Amino acid sequence: MSVLDAFSLSGKVSVVTGANRGIGRALATALAEAGSDVVLLVRDTGGSLEVTAELERLGVTAIAVAADVTEADQVRRAVGEIMDRLGKVDVLVNNAGACIHRPSLEVTEEEWEFVMDVNVNGVWHCSQEFGRQMVEQHSGAIINIGSISANIVNRPQWQPGYNASKAAVHQLTRSLAAEWAPHGVRVNALAPGYIKTEMAPVDKPEFRRHWIDDAPMRRYAMPSELGPSVVYLASDASSFMTGTVLVIDGGYTLF
């Protein structure tokens, strides 16, 4: 196998949660460009028509399956539907996430539970249910989308729930990697820095000083810049890699 062949995902089936927009959409596109069929696991499949059409123009099969990742029963049903329609799952990208920007003493119980439910329980439900299939087939790769917020405290805004949830995602990644390695299942995480999306106003003046000007590369990234790293973690190019948190942050966490 040549070096470039090791990055191929031809014949694979990849599932991406929260893939209708932003980072999830970019990661789904990257996986399709590498040859993988793609399943968008989303709450609103009606919002997936444009994305699946774009992916299919790349020559792969693309479908949308409905599930709220915070509901274990819905995830379980989605796994069954995907297995019935495509026969297997080789790659899972746990991308769906939520954030509340609020000082700790102002965070409501409902807000805290919402962030933890999506960012931690959602990753757990999907990892457990899809991981069950991967363990049975003795192969698979799970990529959890963590964050540099697991390692730093962001400023100037406060987001205690998000930071704690992403730290949990990183440690869950390591725990599952250790447990499932003997079964041929690799589990890694990607920890992005500041990425420009609809939900991240990275170029607003009040944020730019802290988020962009303070980083070594002095710029933010576009979602597409995360795509090659996810393809690497999903493919045989990273066949001896598990339990790793890969930081992609323009050097932000160096300081």
Cα–Cα distance between 154 and 3 in angstroms, integer? 38
Given CATH 3.40.50.720, say whether it is the number of domain 4-250: yes
Is 194 catalytic? The answer is: no
Going by C-beta distance under 8 Å and a sequence separation of 6 or more, which residues neighbour residue 57? none
- Residue 60: alpha-carbon gap to chain centroid: 20
Q: What is the mean pLDDT of residues 91-110?
A: 98
User: Which residues, including other chains, have CB under 8 Å from residue 155's CB and lie 6 or more apart?
Assistant: 210
Is 88's pLDDT higher than 90?
Answer: yes
Q: What is the pLDDT of residues 185-222, one digit of tens each?
A: 999 999 999 999 987 888 888 899 999 998 999 999 99
How does pLDDT run across 45-62, given as a tens digit for each residue? 999 999 999 999 999 999
Amino acid identity for residue 243 in this structure: G
> How does residue 42 score in pLDDT terms, banded at 50, 70 and 90?
very high
Q: Which of 162, 194, 220, 232 is catalytic?
A: 162
Beta strands in 134-251 (DSSP E): 140-145, 185-192, 245-248
What is this structure's pTM?
Answer: 0.97
Encoded tokens for 190: 């990607």
Write down the domain spans for the chain: 4-250
Mean pLDDT of the residues in the chain: 97
Cα(60)–Cα(22) distance, integer angstroms:
20
- H-only helix segments in 96-251: 109-116, 122-137, 160-180, 205-211, 227-234
